[in-house]
Amino acid sequence: MTYATEELLISTIAHLLDGLKHIAVGVLSPIPGSAALLAASRSATIKKVSIIGSMKEPYRLDGAVDLFDCAAQGRIDAFFLSGGQIDGQANVNLTGIGQYPNQDTRWSGAFGSAYLYFLVSKVILFREEHTRRVFVPKVDFISAPGTSAPNVYRPGGPYALVTPLCLFSFNRTKECFRLESIHPGHTLEEVRDNTGFEFDLPASVPETAIPDSQTLQLIRNKVAPIIADPYPDFARKIWGV
């Protein structure tokens, strides 16, 4: 079966969520949201997927304060963050480029990142653009730090980074990404050329597993109609629903 790039990314992220209980998805995250729904559709352990922006049960949240309290109690197992810039220590910049505060380019701001990055055990970084302007040696502004001193209370942090080229894991002790697999049709050279930070890699880098027909059916039949509620344009573009 042929698949769209988005479906490969959904399938890749979903594998990272197996065995979890509560997955929360933030704003502007149709692909992570679809991945959480895919994981939930085939996992007995996933009890709730909370999608910010969904107005439908069981995906809606009981208010934003509840989301943050929930995270602080360890009741959210996975969350997704992106960044205008992400560096090799997994520092995330959602604030802007240039000298703070009067930055040349100002993005939205930190949102919940400066808090959730510390408290959610598996934070998955996701960005649909894999270039050196995104994956930089050092971010201009640390909206949320990837690592902390040992005495800082931090049960959570970065777990993986998924891009259209590859999948990285993050080693919190070494404070460094490791290339886990490269998506079909892409090469190590391409990953290196487009990544501005150093990363570890195995002697031989495997190819990312493509979604099988059963997975694609789940995505198209189960996931698509649900994600179309908070993300109508996305669902129309990918699946025509």
Chain residues binding another protein by CB under 8 A are: 27-28, 55, 63-65, 68, 72, 94-96, 100-119, 141-145, 148-149, 151-153, 233
Q: Which is nearer to another protein, 101 or 240 (CB)?
A: 101
Q: Please list, in sequence order, all residues whose beta carbon lies within 8 angstroms of the beta carbon of residue 65, skipping any fewer than 6 positions away.
A: none
Strands (E), 57-144: 78-81, 85-87, 92-93, 96-97, 105-106, 122-126, 135-136
> Taking Cα atoms as reference points, which of 27, 22, 112 lies closest to residue 65?
112
Give CA angle at 79 (2, 77), nearest 5°. 110
Q: Shortest Cβ distance from residue 155 to another protein (Å)?
A: 9
- Least Å distance, CB 14 to another protein, is 23
Q: How far is the CB of 102 from another protein (least distance, A)?
A: 5
- Give least dist CB 221 to another protein, A: 25
CB closer to another protein, 137 vs 202: 137
Q: Which two tokens stand for residue 160?
A: 């993986």
Q: Give the chain's radius of gyration (CA, Å).
A: 17
Of 108 and 187, nearer to another protein (C-beta) is 108
Q: Which is nearer to another protein, 145 or 211 (CB)?
A: 145
* Nearest distance from C-beta of residue 41 to another protein, angstroms: 25
Instruction: Looking at 16-122, list the stretches that DSSP marks H as alpha helix, in order from N- to C-terminal side.
Output: 30-41, 64-72, 113-119
In whole angstroms, the minimum distance from the beta carbon of 15 to another protein comes to 27
Whose CA is closest to 90, among 120, 53, 123, 48?
123
Find the Cα–Cα–Cα–Cα dihedral 202, 144, 62, 235, rounded to 10°. Answer: -50
Q: Is the Cβ of residue 151 or residue 204 nearer to another protein in the bound state?
A: 151
Distance CA(154)–CA(2), nearest Å, equals: 42
Helix (H) or strand (E) holding 159: strand 158-162
CA nearest to 59, candidates 41, 81, 82, 83: 41
CB nearer another protein, residue 8 or residue 144: 144
Nearer to another protein, 5 or 108 (CB): 108
Closest separation in Å from C-beta 222 to another protein: 24
